[in-house]
Structure 1
Amino acid sequence: MKQHAYGRDDGKGRKARVVFWNDPGQDVTGAISRSEKVAGTMEQLLGGEVYHYHSKIVMKDAHTGGMHVWHQDYGYWYSNGCLHPTMGTVFIAIDKAHTGNGCLKVLAKSQKMGRLDHTRIGDQAGVHGERLDEILKRHELNEMEMKPGDALFFHCNLLHTSEQNNSDDRRWAFLIAYNRADNNPYKKHHHSQYSPLGKVPNSAIMNCKPGASMTGKEFFSLDKNISMDALDPGFTEQMKK
């Protein structure tokens, strides 16, 4: 995983390190993303068949990990040709997440506002300014302190953020994004078009052998980001340089 990771400037002097892939693959991360307990739950929440949109590991190392600015996932995915916000993410803690090492923060019921305008902040897309100030006054802030293995399911329009990691504790997390099958993007982009997920029983997670092949996961880098290009034309060309 580490060899495919890259940093995203957080606009405050640090980089948020992350690794993305589009195909679930045959390793344990693929088994988790196809499992009934994860994918099946997301199908219930989104009201229909889902497919694997992408997965990522967010790597916030001690004293160096960057922040993720206030944003909605649909703030990115809207630009990728997804017409409806029938999408969601599962956030699974690998390490203990607490306020000191940059745990996830969410604004309760903020998804009900619909998609907000996003602008480029560092190498990220985010919401800021007067509107965000007012939103923060009116929506309850929840700091999602989690133990390893805890999972949070959330809608693609939920506003969320996480601070820099200034603690001695590493904070890694495994995130799986799903799209409802009938919301297949109308154009090709850097994430997945619809492909049947092929769900597996929960037992497949424990039965997955350590060291399973990582081939075929389709890792990608920041210089292929169509959604950032929509916010800042020429973004990917800048990254290539």
Structure 2
Amino acid sequence: MAFSIGGLCSTALRRSLACGAGACAPASQALVFRRSLSGADLSSRRPLTAEELGKYRTDGFVILRDVYNQEEIDLLRETVLADQMLKENVMDMVDSSGKTSRLTLWRHDGDDTYGMFSRGRRMVDFAKAATGSNDDSVYHFHTKVMLKEPHIGGRWEWHQDFGYWYEVGCLQPERMLSVMVAIDKATVQNGCLDVLKGSNRLGRIHHGNTGNQVGADPWAVDKATKLMETVPCEMDAGDVLMLHCNTLHKSNANTSDHWRRCMIVAFNTKDNEPRPDTIAPLYFQMKPVADSAIMELGMVGRASGTVEDFLQRDDNVNAFKLEDTELEYKDAK
């Protein structure tokens, strides 16, 4: 049995020490190690229940508790903290009040720690169930790591993910979703996600610009929030939120002394590809790995990716900027 030091099992600790202080393993090490994972048990450690899938489809979201254990989440957090590629490719997203949240987004999954989560059987099976697809159809659309710093992390305005994805040519919202992994405890005080329960059934709402963000039409939001319940998604580290791409959601500024960090993996399907002339990735077949791969691989950062694979702020603004649709939110803080 592996022992634990500072939340990292002995396997992960040996790999992180071999990388050197503040650095992650190079891609070559990850690729060599991946070969040893072939033939591993690919059954999920945490299958989705019929009741959970029903809540996702009816409410537009579902929170799954204790999907990842403490060792796995500690490893993910330490990888984020040590990964220089994330720091070099971060985007500052300014809200309408001038506060800033930070995110790093990349398009293709890799042979790194993040990829062991996004390609792990737990997460892939969640995506398959939500989209009604199979291993040959579902694919990784993007991964992003989001950071809300204490007292600095800003607000995200009400929006639908499909408000963005429709603009790049994806037409089927039932074939897309986001899966959020809580790296830290998410509370109302540190700006947890708020969702509008059942708003996935409203269809796509018009979106426009607000600060560096694209948000949903405030008239429609005002009407929807009077009809439906706003639910704060408070989560413990290791919990997972499955979010339908038409569900309206937002988050408030972090007014606490605590970080809120999360990793969000978006999935799409082969029959719902974006237009080929956009920044969004076309279909490529995923290669699921065993749930055990996370701790077996250990700390490996995005050195296995390329700079071109990261979304840059100017590309993001140009891709989703909607002319003559500047929005104002009455409740912006």
Q: TM-score, normalising length from structure 2? A: 0.67
Q: Which moved more, 1:66-75 or 1:122-131?
A: 122-131
Residue type of the alignment partner of 1:222: R
Residue type of the alignment partner of 1:160: H
Residue type of the alignment partner of 1:130: W
Q: Distance in 1 between matches of 2:280 and 2:162?
A: 13
User: Deviation above 3 Å: which 4+ runs of structure 1?
Assistant: none
| Pairwise CA distance, 1:137 | 0.8
Q: Distance in 2 between matches of 1:195 and 1:27?
A: 18
Residue type of the alignment partner of 2:170: C
Residue type of the alignment partner of 2:172: H
| Pairwise CA distance, 1:22 | 0.7
Q: Secondary structure at the match of 1:119?
A: strand
1:221 aligns to 2:312 (yes or no): yes
CA change 1:214–1:112 in 2 (3 A) is same
CA change 1:8–1:213 in 2 (3 A) is closer
Gaps of 5+ in 2: 1-85, 325-333
Aligned residues: 232
CA change 1:181–1:143 in 2 (3 A) is same
Choose 1 or 2 for highest CA Rg.
2
| Aligned counterpart, 1:99 | 188
Q: Which has the higher strand share?
A: 1
Match among 36, 41, 45 for residue 121 of structure 2: 36
| Aligned counterpart, 2:263 | 174
Q: Secondary structure at the match of 2:283?
A: coil
1:71 aligns to 2:159 (yes or no): yes
Identity over aligned residues, as a percent? 37
RMSD between aligned alpha carbons? 1.4
Q: Distance in 1 between matches of 2:247 and 2:166?
A: 14
Q: Distance in 2 between matches of 1:220 and 1:186?
A: 17
CA change 1:189–1:21 in 2 (3 A) is same
* 1:101-142 CA distance string (max 9 Å, x none): 000000111000110000101111111432211100111111
Would you say the 8 A contact 1:107–1:140 is kept in 2? yes
Q: Distance in 1 between matches of 2:287 and 2:200?
A: 29
Would you say the 8 A contact 1:94–1:172 is kept in 2? yes
| Aligned counterpart, 2:294 | 205
Gaps of 5+ in 1: 234-241
Q: Distance in 2 between matches of 1:186 and 1:140?
A: 35
| Pairwise CA distance, 1:213 | 5.4
Q: TM-score, normalising length from structure 1? A: 0.92
* 1:23-42 CA distance string (max 9 Å, x none): 11111111110111001111
CA change 1:201–1:10 in 2 (3 A) is same
Residue type of the alignment partner of 1:11: S
| Aligned counterpart, 1:236 | none
Q: Distance in 2 between matches of 1:194 and 1:188?
A: 14
| Aligned counterpart, 1:19 | 104
